Amino acid sequence: MESSTSSTSLNCISLSDPDIQRSVALLKQACLDSGFFYVLDHGISQELMDEVFAQSKKFFELPNSEKMKLLRNEKNRGYTPMLDEILDPENQVNGDYKEGYYIGVEVPADDPQSNRPFYGPNQWPSEEVLPKWREVMEEYHREALRVAKSVARIIALALNLDEDFFDTPEMLGDPIATLRLLHYEGQVSNPSKGVYGAGAHSDYGLITLLATDDVVGLQICKDSNAQPHVWEYVAPVKGGFIVNLGDMLERWSNCIFRSTLHRVVLSGQERYSIAYFVEPSHDCIVECLPTCKSETNPPKFPPITCSAYLSQRYKDTHADLSAYSDGKA
């Protein structure tokens, strides 16, 4: 059982606001309530945002044979076809009715770091097929990381930590940061029959920055324990980001801050979005923060490395790559 309502209202945080304490208070309230908020005045030009969406559309309009040449590899770089991902296996009939493209931190193949999970060279469409595509995506990747670090500083203050807590090399100084282009075909979702644009899930990492077109589709469930689930739409915000916390930050904060269930429900309109997932470095130990535990609220989770945690979460939600070579997917 579930019910859907109209749009929810989210706090707006302006990165150009000189009153940092106001931003901290707004963010803290949002993180305790739903783990979702808007970020405005982030410094990425509207021109670049528009260009990323235009280039994304160009890629997804390519013939399937061209896109499959860039099929997601074992490093989770490249193209993910329709139904490749199943985020809510208990309630989904097939998989997500979306296609995507992963772009991570560029690490040359001859660099020893490229042997680590989620690091390595990206897969890029050829310049002949999509000129300027790589250049635009790499610029956006850099800019989005800058924004994410600004948001992380406000999060640190909201958790009563030093402002630069997440800036250290083992945190966001050497991050696992992944850009994912997403395209939802013009299909009508039917939750009662297990058909979704994207199944209900929470994000794995620290924070996610989401830019969307003007087509409504994202829904959040603020209380996953309530029955029936109440789903509320999140309105798109032109030029801004919808930001949400991931499970890793919920774990770090000992469940004080929320990582919230969300999904995409489609109305028959094509939809494009661009997600930017930010996680700390491979060796970062995710354990209860000193400001989030007490005698009455001891740590709820054992320490774990970021790399081990993410590897398992990706494995749990994506199709086995051998399925494509076997002709099953």
The pLDDT assigned to 325 comes to: 54
User: In this predicted structure, what is the pLDDT of residue 329?
Assistant: 47
Chain segment 204-222, per-residue pLDDT in tens: 889 999 999 999 999 999 8
Greatest mean pLDDT range, 79-83, 131-135, 189-193: 131-135
Q: Percent of the chain beyond pLDDT 90?
A: 66
pLDDT band at 275 (very low <50, low <70, confident <90, very high): very high
Residue with tokens 């991931």: 246
The tens digit of pLDDT for each residue in 83-104 reads: 877 778 777 878 888 999 999 9
Residue 3 — very low, low, confident or very high, per pLDDT cuts 50/70/90? Answer: low
pLDDT at 253: 95
Q: What is the pLDDT of residue 321?
A: 53
Least confident range from 84-88, 113-117, 194-198, 235-239: namely 84-88
pLDDT tens per residue across span 156-181 = 999 999 999 999 988 998 898 999 99
Per-residue confidence band for 191, with pLDDT thresholds at 50, 70 and 90: confident
pLDDT of residue 4: 57
Q: What is the pLDDT of residues 16-27, one digit of tens each?
A: 999 999 999 999
For residue 45, how many other CB atoms are within 10 A of its CB? 10
Average pLDDT, the chain: 90
Residue partners of 242: CB distance under 8 A and separation at least 6: 10, 36, 37, 38, 209, 210, 211, 212, 218, 234, 236
Q: Is the pLDDT of residue 328 over 60?
A: no
In order of their start, the domains of the chain are 12-324 (2.60.120.330)
Which of 172-181, 183-192, 232-241 is the least confident region? 183-192
Please give the backbone phi and psi of residue 80, each rounded to the nearest 5 degrees, phi first: -115, 115
